Chains A and B, each alone.
Chain A
Amino acid sequence: MILNIFTDIHELLLGLMPENIVHITELVLIAVAYLGIFAILGLFLVWLERRIAAFFQFRLGPNRVGPMGLFQTVADALKLVSKELTGTEKADKFLYKIAPYFVITTALMSLSLIPFSYEIHAFDINIGLFFLTSVSSVGVLGIFLAGWASNNKYSLIGGMRTGIQMISYELSVGMAIVTMVVLAGTLQISEIVEIQKDGWLIYQGHIPAIIAFMIFMIAGTAESNRTPFDLVEAESELGAGFHTEYSGMNFAYYFLAEFVNLFLISSVAVILFFGGWLSPFGITDTIPFAGLFWFVIKVLGVIFIFMWFRWTFPRFRIDQLLTLEWKFLLPINMVNIVLMALMVWLGLTL
């Protein structure tokens, strides 16, 4: 028996109002729920990053506000909400104001595609992965616009670097995803997870899948603008890069979106390589909502690897960044796709 509280809520609403209004109400409810997830995720990941960074650097990190300092980031967010929104006088006001919403809307849209468990999946379409990569590409526009509209040389350099970096590394992320899609044979996220009931894709695809995973992790770090690819912000060179001129809540949008993008890229890694919400060897697949637990555990593991990268590697120079992408990752990726296609064709997958 599947305990489905969502069906219960649906029937409860049907008893209260006509069917077409129920539909709209449910859409609103889901949107509000995802906004909540967005905020909580962003705040939690900021806290996690600070704690983990502290342990890497022989410190303790925020540990005063709430248990283990969990509410530190909530307090920080409240501070940012209460701050004045400033801007440069000669900024392009319209673009300047609209830019953060590009970033936050696309992050939120991408979040709707992520299956937290078998039951919790807001938007499951047959071109799910394609939609996810396209939507998250739009988020770059927000960063680019912010750099341009601020009318500040540091912001502009940051924005230009974003353009270079994103165009380059989106290719690698896309091709690593394509490699796994060749193996999975579908773009629908729920089906990709279902296929992995016999073994996670990183096991099914063995050598090319592991190469694709490594490329995905490298390019994913670049996509989420994290060290060693944080040329976009580059505190030591550009002030704060593209968001130098943003303050208060507008700054917080970028800050939260950055961490939600980290969650997104980790979720895609988990869906593509580590079986999404599936438990290892199917031990708890019959328990409803157990998938949520496994999904969160796996995503946190991948996020930890990203944070490990961040506190280990120094920042690239811009020419090194481009050399890495165009001379190393891209050729390897192309060979890897052919290798994967051959393996699927010859039936060498496990």
Chain B
Amino acid sequence: MSYFSDIINGTKTLLTGMRVTGGYFFVNFFTKRDVITQQYPNNIETLEMFDRFKGEVIMLHNENNEHRCDACTLCEKACPNGSIEILGDKAKDPETGKNKRFLVKHIYHLQMCTMCGLCIEACPVNAIDWGQDFHHVEYDRSLLTKVLNKPGSKIMSGIKG
């Protein structure tokens, strides 16, 4: 008698599926509560991307305008298409008296970046991270070349060079 129970079970499961999708439909039709579509140019002021969105590479700075980058160039080496250039220099460390590398400019070519994230994984001191800004439109490609460390910033104390 599995013939008839198959029919009844089949109908039941189909109706269960229809109840689920019908619930989605009516919720979204009347309230638009769960609609995830972003109407981009219209909500440009309020749109916030989710935490793990890969918008661009940024360098983290604290409130004293200090970053963690010690110019080790591991991110530059990790980058498969040369989007990162690091200009470093050496100076005498006042504490130890030894020569130490420090960062002058962390140059990031957004126009070449594929957002693969290898640089961020390579960084041993978590100096760079993903930013959520996605609005990168410019009229000149040179404007997409960015210096990630803020002007006047210096390395945080306690980061080994």
Tell me which residues across on chain A come within 8 A of B22, comparing CB atoms: 308, 312
Tell me which residues across on chain B come within 8 A of A60, comparing CB atoms: 32, 35, 37, 39
The reply to whether the CB of B87 lies closer than 8 angstroms to some CB of chain A is no
A332 CA to B29 CA in the complex, in Å?
36
CB contact list, A303-326 vs B, under 8 A: 308-309, 311-313
Asked if B35 and A58 make an inter-chain contact with CB atoms under 8 angstroms apart, the answer reads: yes
Tell me which residues across on chain B come within 8 A of A59, comparing CB atoms: 35-37
CB contact list, A196-235 vs B, under 8 A: none
Question: B24 → chain A, closest Cβ, in Å?
Answer: 6
Question: B108 → chain A, closest Cβ, in Å?
Answer: 34
The reply to whether the CB of A55 lies closer than 8 angstroms to some CB of chain B is yes
Question: A313 → chain B, closest Cβ, in Å?
Answer: 7
Name the CB-closest residue of A to B33.
A58
Asked if A58 and B36 make an inter-chain contact with CB atoms under 8 angstroms apart, the answer reads: yes
Name the CB-closest residue of A to B32.
A60
Chain B contact-residue range equals 10 to 19
The reply to whether the CB of A123 lies closer than 8 angstroms to some CB of chain B is no
Decide yes or no: A55 and B29 within 8 Å by CB, A60-B37, A313-B14, A328-B7 being known contacts: yes
Tell me which residues across on chain B come within 8 A of A55, comparing CB atoms: 24-25, 28-29, 35
Asked if A308 and B18 make an inter-chain contact with CB atoms under 8 angstroms apart, the answer reads: yes
The reply to whether the CB of A40 lies closer than 8 angstroms to some CB of chain B is no
Consensus secondary structure, chain B interface: helix
* Cross-chain contact of A308 among B21, B36, B37 (Cβ < 8 A): B21
Question: B96 → chain A, closest Cβ, in Å?
Answer: 58
Tell me which residues across on chain A come within 8 A of B20, comparing CB atoms: 312
Tell me which residues across on chain B come within 8 A of A309, comparing CB atoms: 18
A313 CA to B24 CA in the complex, in Å?
14
CB contact list, A71-113 vs B, under 8 A: none
**How many A-B pairs fall under 8 Å by CB?**
42
Asked if B14 and A56 make an inter-chain contact with CB atoms under 8 angstroms apart, the answer reads: no
A55 CA to B36 CA in the complex, in Å?
10
The reply to whether the CB of B34 lies closer than 8 angstroms to some CB of chain A is yes
* Cross-chain contact of B25 among A308, A313, A328, A332 (Cβ < 8 A): A308
Asked if B35 and A56 make an inter-chain contact with CB atoms under 8 angstroms apart, the answer reads: no
Tell me which residues across on chain A come within 8 A of B29, comparing CB atoms: 55
Decide yes or no: A313 and B36 within 8 Å by CB, A55-B29, A58-B24, A328-B7 being known contacts: no
A57 CA to B39 CA in the complex, in Å?
16
Beyond contacts A52-B25, A56-B21, A60-B35: 19 other A-B pairs, Cβ-Cβ < 8 A, are A55-B24, A55-B25, A55-B29, A56-B24, A58-B28, A58-B34, A58-B35, A58-B36, A58-B37, A60-B32, A60-B37, A308-B18, A308-B22, A308-B25, A309-B18, A311-B21, A312-B20, A313-B14, A328-B7
A-B contact pairs, 19 of them (CB 8 A): A54-B37, A55-B29, A56-B21, A57-B24, A58-B36, A59-B35, A60-B32, A60-B37, A308-B18, A308-B22, A308-B25, A309-B18, A311-B21, A311-B25, A312-B18, A312-B20, A312-B22, A313-B14, A328-B7
B-side residues, CB < 8 A to A, are: 7, 14, 17-18, 20-22, 24-25, 28-29, 32, 34-37, 39
